[in-house]
Structure 1
């Protein structure tokens, strides 16, 4: 594989990871906090309605977790393509 093809494959995989993680974050923050809040409000978490909890705190927690997932994925991707040196 040429160096340029190597870099293009690396960035395609990187962009795919970013799009997947942003989609998850969108579904959690917008979907659970706004679109599906009425259905989620029937469930309680710590005394609060689940839709309210996602709108106020859940999306932030998910975002922080997704940051760690992204770091782990990128470390594996760097090793796969030899950019970890």
Structure 2
């Protein structure tokens, strides 16, 4: 029986890290799209839209990206708590 537990643990750890890397990759892609895409690449297109009298491209470059980053932190914490619980790593 102990042999079965030892075989399952590495598989469980590999599955946990595979899923963890998937989530981190998605969140990093969102981060890159917002910071680089919205503030630099798509700035001219976004500047045709105004929020509170400011062009949307300017808003993303100055404030919007920071808000998105903070939201991504909370999303990451929530996802990781669920992932830890799913694989039995929660305390």
What is the TM-score normalised by the length of structure 2? Answer: 0.90
Is it true that 1:73 corresponds to 2:50 in the alignment?
Answer: no
Per-residue Cα deviation, 1:16-72 (whole angstroms, up to 9, x for no partner): 100100100110110000000000001001111000000111111000000000000
| Count of residues paired in the alignment | 85
* Structure 2 gaps, min length 5: 1-6
Secondary structure at 2:90 match in 1:
coil
- Could you list the structure 1 runs, at least 4 aligned residues long, displaced by more than 2 angstroms after superposition: none
Correspondent of 1:47 among 47, 50, 53: 53
Provide the aligned C-alpha RMSD in A. Answer: 0.9
1:11 aligns with 2:17: yes
- Greater Rg, structure 1 or structure 2? 2
Distance 1:56 1:80 in 2: 38
Q: With the length of structure 1 as denominator, give the TM-score of the two structures.
A: 0.96
Report which stretch shifted further, 34-43 or 1-10. Answer: 1-10
